[in-house]
Amino acid sequence: MALAHLLAVSGGKRVSVPEGPVAEAFRRAIDILLPPGPPERHLALAGPGLSAAITDIALVPRHPQTGEVWPCDAGAVVPLAADVWTYMAFNDDRRLVPAAHGMPAGVRRDDPLPLLPHGLFRPDGRVFLRTLERLAPVGQPWLRRIHDRVKDRPYMDPFV
């Protein structure tokens, strides 16, 4: 869903993506779906605990209970589920290992390990198309071409 929103707010212009989990999730799809060339718009994470740098497009968290989107001064916002946003904003690539053998028996916990991605992120073509169809800018020719291309070949890269 976020990829469809990101494309819609890009205006068909190339978007620069920050390194790390954001690049792992979005850069490949942006490189395939948007025309080549130098970036004209800039994407950044914004939200609680991050600096309030003003950018063209901000990835912001959606409150898990209320669904409210984090307010920011970016030109456009792309909401993400709070747990996905938290992973992207604060992931440090360390893998946590249960410390059950190093802790006293009375302190041992049954907390599950955090959910982490198992491999390369691949957007779901059906979710992408349904989301894109609900967005007003899908009537613009450049976005309609992307929609039709994905609809005609739903298993093309990056949706395979």
Give the pLDDT band of residue 52 (cuts 50, 70, 90): confident
Higher confidence at residue 23 or residue 110? 23
Q: Where are the domains of the chain?
A: 2-91+120-152
Q: What is the pTM of this model?
A: 0.81
Averaged over 126-150, what is the pLDDT?
Answer: 92
Averaged over 52-72, what is the pLDDT?
Answer: 91
DSSP the chain: -HHHHHHHHHTTS-EE--TTHHHHHHHHHHHHHSPPSS--EEEEE-STTS-----SEEEEEEPTTT-PBPP--SSEEEEEEHHHHHHHHH--SPPP---GGGS-TTT---PPPPP---S-----HHHHHHHHHHSGGGGSHHHHHHHHHHHHSTTSTT--
Higher confidence at residue 92 or residue 4? 4
Q: What is the pLDDT of residues 73-87, one digit of tens each?
A: 899 999 999 999 998
